[in-house]
Structure 1
C-alpha cells in the first residue's frame, strides 16, 4: 500500500515549522542586538540635544543676571523610543533636573575703589547663599552618560573619570568678576519637555571697582566638581592659565577657593536670579549704584567731555560737549587738559532708568583720553533726559543726553526690513528698496556685543556676507578663513575683503525681495526678530550706502 501523499504533507508541515523557527530566531536576534543598538543611538542623540538646551538655560540665567528681566527655556528631560511591531522596547528614558543644596559664595580681602551707594563692609561682610543645577539622565543603553552641571555660569559634563566643558566659565573674565547667584528649589523628572523660568530677584549692581586690602582677593564658591574648575581657571597665574589673573588654590567641604592676582583692579557685578519656587525678596541688596567722585578745590588738570557728534547711536548734528540727542548706544570720550596719561577715570549717570554705562571706571590712554559707552534702557521714554559724569584728578564734567526713541528704521531710511528668514548660527533677512533711485551698499557692520563681546562670524574660504536677489548687482564680502568680529566695526565690502571676494551691492528702484545672508556665528544666537528701536536690539546690522547714509536693522533675541 502506498503512503507517498502522506509523506509529502508531513514534509510541508516540517518546512513550515522550520520556517517559523527561523523567523522567531531572527526576531529574537533582532530584539537582543539591533533594538538595543538603535535605542542607544536615540539616547545618545537626545543627550546631545539636551546639552544644547542646558546651555540655553545657562545663557538665560547669565543674561537675566546681567541685564534683568526674565527668560523661559524649554529642556527636554527624556526621550521616546519608536513603536515596534512584534518587538518590545524598555520603558522610555527619563531625566531629572534639580537644584543643589545651598552653598556659600564669599569674597575676602577686597575693598571698594570708588564711591557707591553701599560700602564694601555691607556688601562683602558676609557670605551669600546660592545653588547650582544638575541634569542626570536615566537611559537604558547609554549607561555611562554624563551628569551635566551648571555652576556659576559654567556648563560642563561630568563623567566618572573626567569632566568636559560645554562653555567658558564667566565667573572670572580678565579683570571682570560676574557673580550671578541662583535661588529657588527645582526638582523635576520627565520623559518630555519642561519649561524653566528664570527671573531677576535682585540687581544687577553697577560695576564695582575692587582692589585688594593688602592680601590677594579670594573668592569662594560651591562646586561638586573641583577638577572642572581646575581645568577651566587653572592653578597658576599667567596667560597659559584659563584665567590669567586667577588660580584655584584649594577645595574642601564642597567649597572651591580661587585667588586673584594682586596689584590689579577688578570690576565686580552681582545679581540674584530665581528659578523654581524662588520669590522676590522684600529688599534688594544688589541695588548698588556708583556715585560720582567729588571734585577737589584745586584740580590737577581739567576734565572735559568731547563732542560726541558722528558716533554710532548719535542722531544730532548739533551736539556739543555739553548736550546731545542719542538714539542708541553712544560712545562718550573724555579728555584731560593738560594731557594726563595712564590715570584713573570715573563715570556715573544720574538716572539709571534712562540707561547705564558699559564702564564706570577706566584709565586714560597716552593721549589723555578714555571712552565709555552709554546704553539706553529698553524702558526709557522718548525725550527722557539723563546726565553722564566723568571725573579724574579732582575735576569733573557733565554731558546732558536726551533719549530719542526714533532710533529704528524710519521713513528716511530707504532700505526697510521685510522679514527674518533664518537665524541661529547665521542671520538671513529680507529687505526692500523704498527709495526713488538705485542705491549701492559699500560698507557693513554687525554689532552683537549686547549678546556677547566675543562673537565673530566666519565661513572658511567662502563669503561671510552676501547681498543677493538684486536687479543690478549682488554684493559679497569675505576674508578667506579670517572671521569678522561682530563688535560694530565697519568694513568696506571690497577693500576689506581678500582676493576677489569683495563686490559692492547695487539695488534697483523696484527691488523688494533682496536678501542679506551673514554666516556663520561662532555661537548659536537663537531666534532673532526685527524690532524698530536700537534700545530694544540685541544685534544691529548696519549697511552704509555710497553717499554715506546708514541703513540700520535691529534684531532682538526671542
Structure 2
C-alpha cells in the first residue's frame, strides 16, 4: 500500500485555517462592536444610578432646616464591567464629584428689600442693606469610555438637573418658594473626588433651625427679591417656578406671590437670576447653611433679638423673665455667646444678673425684678452683645431695648409669676381613697392654693386636663348617701366656705367642672378670703388599658388645672397651673413660651401662634397643646398653629410636655 500522490491532508489544513480565520473575525467583531455596546449599557445604567444618588444628596441638603444631625449620602462615582473570558475590557470608568463656587465669596445668593416684621429683628433685616450668602453647586461629571453623550448632573438652589450639550433636563422640583414661604439653603465647602468606586458625602448643618422670620417689602415702591447665579437661564427657572408665578400680579387670593423672574449677565457661563416677589405681602423666610467637604466656614453671632418679650408689664413686687435670642446671619441660634444686660435709670427695677450666655437654642434669659419702692411707669432694659456704655444704640443689630411697664400691685393677674395672685403652693401629692399613701392605688390628687389677691374670691369652676391621654375618668369610690368629704367626692375644695361636686358614676376628663351646678350632688361655690389657703381633692383618676379601665397611681403624673374665680370687687379671672404629685419625673421641667403674630391688615382676624420659644433642659419637648377658647382644655396640637381666627382679647394657653410627661403652661392675650 502506498501514499504516493495522496493530497487529502491539504484539505484538512485548509479547512482548519479557514475555521480559525472565521473565529478571529467573529472575535474581532465581538470585541469591536458587542463589547462596547454592552459596556455602554453598563455605563448608561450607572449614570441613571448616579442621578438617583444626586437626588438623594439634594434631599439631604434641602432638609437641613430643622435637621440638627449630619446626614451621609453615598455616591457611586464609577462602575465596573462584567468579566469576560476571551474579550478584553478597558479600564473601569470613573467620575468626578466636585463643588463649584461654594467657597468663592463673589458667588452669592442675595436678598434685597426684605424688612422684618419684628422691630428688633428689623434692626438686622432693615430692608436697606442687601444680605449676601456664599453658595454654589455640586456636580457629577462622568468619565466614561463609551457613553460619551452622558450628561453632567448638577445640584444647585434646591434643583437637580442633567446638563447636556444640547440643553438641560430637570430631575427634581424646586423647593425655594411655596406660596409665601421662602426657604433658602446655602451650600458651602470644597470637594473634588475622582474615583471608580463610591464616596460618602457628609452633609453637615452648619447653620440650621426650623425658625422663620417674617419679612415684607421695605418701602411701598420696592419688592422683596432673591438673586443667585445659576447654570440655568431665567427661562428655565420660570418653568420650575410656574406654579408660584402670579398670572395676575397683585391678586393675593390665588396664593401666588412671584411677580417676575428676570435675568442678567453673570460671570462666565453663569446666569444672574432674580426672583421678584409681590409687594404688600408678608413672607416667611427660612434659611440654613449646609457644609460639604473641607473649608466649611462656621457662622458667628450677627444680631440679638427678643423672643416674646417685646413689651413687658410687671406689677410692683413681682418679677418677669425676659427672653432674647442670639442669631447668626441665617437667623439661626448661636450658643455660648455672652449677652450683657442693664436697667436704664434709677429706682427702675433691676436684673438679677448682668450677664448671661446663650444656651443650645441661642436663648438668654434674664429676670427683671421690682420691689414695692420701684417707680411705676415705663423703664427701659438694655441688652447687648457688646459692653453697655455710652455707645449703646437700641436700633443696631447688636443692641436690644425692651420697654417694661411697672404697675401698682395687680390683683388677679391670672397666671403670672411672683408673690401676688392666686398662688399654687407646689405641694401636690397622690393619695388613695383613705386619704393616705399606705396601701392601695394612690389614684387621687391633693394640692393647695393661696389667695394673695388682696381681696376675697369665690371659686366658680375648675378645669381638669391630665397630660397623660390614657387618663380618661375621675370617679370616687364612695356612694352618694354619705356626707360630702375630702376623698369621697370627685371634686372637694376645702376653703373658708367648702365646695364640692359629685357625679355619682364619675365623669370623663378632661372637663371643666362647675362646682355648684354640675353632677348629682353639689355644695356652694367655695369662698376664699385674702391670704387664706384652699385645698383641692380630686378623686380618683382612672386610666384606660388594654384590659379595661383601672385606677392609676398619680405619682409623677401631670394634670393642668385652671381655677376660675370671681373677685369681691367685681370681675372674673382665672389661674392656670400644672400639678405633678411627687414632683417632676427624671427630667427637669420644660418651659412653655410662644409668640403671637399676624399679617397686619391682611390677617382678617387670623393669627399665627408659634411655640418655638419654648425650651426644655434636655431638649426633648414632644407635645405642644393649645387652648384657644379659655376653657382650660387643650384641644389643638402642634408647635405652630397658623391662620387661626381668634378674637382680640382672648387669652390663649399653651402646654408643652417632655418625654417624661413633665409639663409647663403659659397664657397670653391676643392683641
Write out per-residue CA displacement over residues 27-79 of structure 1, whole angstroms, 9 at most, x where no aligned residue.
11111211111111111111111111111111111223332221111100111
Q: Give 3-state SS (helix, strand or coil) of 1:16's partner.
A: helix
* 2:234 is equivalent to residue 229 of structure 1: no
* 2:610 is equivalent to residue 347 of structure 1: yes
* 2:268 is equivalent to residue 251 of structure 1: no
The offset of 1:311, in angstroms, is 10
Q: 2:288 aligns with which of 271, 274, 277?
A: 271
- CA distance in 2: counterparts of 1:29 and 1:71, whole angstroms: 48
- Which consecutive unaligned segments of at least 5 residues does structure 2 have? 314-404, 406-413, 416-462, 473-509, 511-558, 563-575, 663-671
- 1:402 maps to 657
* 2:181 is equivalent to residue 171 of structure 1: no
* 2:635 is equivalent to residue 373 of structure 1: no
Q: Give 3-state SS (helix, strand or coil) of 2:605's partner.
A: coil
The offset of 1:234, in angstroms, is 3.7
The offset of 1:91, in angstroms, is 2.0
Write out per-residue CA displacement over residues 424-480 of structure 1, whole angstroms, 9 at most, x where no aligned residue.
xxxxxxxxxxxxxxxxxxxxxxxxxxxxxxxxxxxxxxxxxxxxxxxxxxxxxxxxx
Q: Give 3-state SS (helix, strand or coil) of 2:216's partner.
A: strand
Larger Rg: 2
The offset of 1:131, in angstroms, is 2.1
TM-score, normalization by structure 1 = 0.57
Q: RMSD between aligned alpha carbons?
A: 4.7
* 2:470 is equivalent to residue 207 of structure 1: no
Match runs of 1:37-116 below 5 Å: 37-101=37-101, 102=104, 103-115=107-119
- Residues 208 and 268, structure 1, Cα contact 8 Å, conserved in 2: yes
The offset of 1:4, in angstroms, is 7.4
- CA distance in 2: counterparts of 1:240 and 1:144, whole angstroms: 42
Per the alignment, do residues 121 and 93 of structure 1 end up closer, same or farther by CA in structure 2, a change over 3 Å counting? Answer: same
Q: Give 3-state SS (helix, strand or coil) of 1:121's partner.
A: coil
- Which consecutive unaligned segments of at least 5 residues does structure 1 have? 298-302, 376-389, 408-558
The offset of 1:138, in angstroms, is 1.3
Per the alignment, do residues 341 and 266 of structure 1 end up closer, same or farther by CA in structure 2, a change over 3 Å counting? Answer: closer
- CA distance in 2: counterparts of 1:175 and 1:5, whole angstroms: 102
- 1:217 maps to 224
- Residues 110 and 212, structure 1, Cα contact 8 Å, conserved in 2: yes
- Residues 110 and 228, structure 2, Cα contact 8 Å, conserved in 1: yes
Write out per-residue CA displacement over residues 388-422 of structure 1, whole angstroms, 9 at most, x where no aligned residue.
xx998587645342313479xxxxxxxxxxxxxxx
- Residues 113 and 127, structure 2, Cα contact 8 Å, conserved in 1: no
- CA distance in 2: counterparts of 1:289 and 1:51, whole angstroms: 44
TM-score, normalization by structure 2 = 0.48
Per the alignment, do residues 263 and 131 of structure 1 end up closer, same or farther by CA in structure 2, a change over 3 Å counting? Answer: same
Match runs of 1:156-555 below 5 Å: 156-204=161-209, 206-213=211-218, 214=220, 215-226=222-233, 227-234=235-242, 237-238=245-246, 244-246=256-258, 247-253=260-266, 254=270, 255-279=272-296, 281=298, 283-285=300-302, 290-291=307-308, 294=311, 318-319=559-560, 322=576, 342-352=605-615, 354=619, 373-374=638-639, 397-405=652-660
Structure of greater relative contact order (alpha carbons < 8 Å, 6+ residues apart): 1
